[in-house]
């Protein structure tokens, strides 16, 4: 039985098809239209779909069209049955954050998991081996930091991330910016990971999001490297776990 999973992010919309728990196809799009929906449905013939969005307001005409073709469920916090959600304001919790910890729970059910989602923003979330989720942290993402330095100053250039940069400091403006952004993220990530390890709970560190490979490179020499797992489709896996448990 195939399920269609759609995750509407800040920059891209990801579409995936799962056969039970196995991801069999996925792709990201900037724009979606009815023809694309037809192609996916005709190729994979899913029986139901789940849709999640981080946008507070959006009107996508293809969503209404999709609903005419098969059962579509819109993801909400109460649907993540595997997670005991202790967030004080669950109505404000980003759908992607909750779906990611649900994905961690589905993939590694007997473990505590720290989820680092490196996308437009960097989010840090932790779910224990019993499925308890108490919250996490949100900070600016890699590209957002570069853009902010350029936007809020008169003289600093707009740069892109450089995966080859590994100096502790910069000796000109460009390398000083790279050091501040990329080393700053490295120290931030190390600090968050260490704070969770200080609780004494053994755990996996799951990297996901568009910049997850960059973060893996950044942390390859970290003392936590043995605990790191790359899960690029963690949010999609979480949404699929939710739709498999949803019978309404």
Q: Classify residue 182 by burial, with Cβ atoms within 10 Å: 0-12, 13-18, 19+.
A: buried
Cα 192 from Cα 217, distance rounded (Å)? 17
* Binding residue positions for ATP: 7-14, 120
Rounded distance between C-alpha atoms, residue 130 and residue 84, angstroms: 8
| Count of Cβ atoms closer than 10 Å to residue 43 Cβ | 11
Binding-site residues from annotation for K(+)? 117
- Is 161 within 8 Å of 143 (Cβ atoms)? yes
By the 10 Å C-beta count (0-12 exposed, 13-18 middle, 19+ buried), 140 is classed as: middle
For β-strands 132-140 and 228-230, DSSP reports them as unpaired
d(CA 65, CA 34): 7
Q: What residues form the annotated binding site?
A: 7-14, 87, 94-97, 117, 120, 173
CA angle (63 as vertex; 57, 64 as ends), nearest 5? 110
Count of CB atoms situated within 10 Å of the CB of 247: 5
- Told to judge if 96 belongs to the known catalytic residues of this protein, a careful annotator would answer yes
Among the listed residues 31, 33, 39, 96, the single catalytic one is 96
For residue 82, give the nearest of 62, 98, 68 by alpha carbon. 98
Torsion sign, CA atoms 160, 161, 164, 169: positive
Task: Show which residues are catalytic.
Answer: 96
């Amino acid at each position: 039985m195939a399920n269609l999973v759609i995750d509407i992010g800040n920059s891209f919309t990801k579409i995936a098809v799962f056969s039970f728990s196995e991801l069999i196809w996925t792709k990201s799009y900037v724009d979606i239209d009815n023809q694309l929906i037809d192609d996916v449905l005709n190729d994979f013939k899913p029986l139901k779909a789940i849709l999640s969005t981080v946008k507070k307001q959006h009107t996508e005409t293809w969503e209404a069209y999709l609903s005419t073709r098969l059962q579509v469920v819109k993801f909400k916090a109460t649907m993540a049955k595997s997670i005991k959600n202790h967030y004080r304001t669950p109505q404000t919790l980003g759908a992607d954050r909750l779906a990611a910890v649900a994905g961690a729970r589905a993939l590694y059910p007997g473990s505590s998991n720290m989820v680092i989602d490196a996308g437009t923003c960097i989010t840090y979330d932790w779910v224990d081996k019993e499925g308890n989720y108490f919250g996490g942290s949100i900070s600016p993402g890699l590209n957002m930091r570069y853009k902010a330095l350029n936007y809020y100053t008169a003289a600093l250039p707009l740069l892109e991330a450089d995966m080859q940069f590994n100096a502790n400091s910069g000796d000109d403006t460009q390398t000083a910016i790279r050091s501040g952004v990329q080393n700053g993220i490295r120290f931030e990530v190390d600090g968050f990971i260490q704070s969770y390890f200080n609780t004494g709970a053994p755990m996996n560190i799951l990297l996901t999001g568009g910049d997850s490979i960059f973060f893996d490179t950044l942390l390859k020499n970290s003392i936590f490297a043995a605990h790191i797992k790359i899960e690029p489709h963690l949010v999609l896996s979480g949404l699929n776990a939710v739709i498999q448990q949803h019978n309404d």
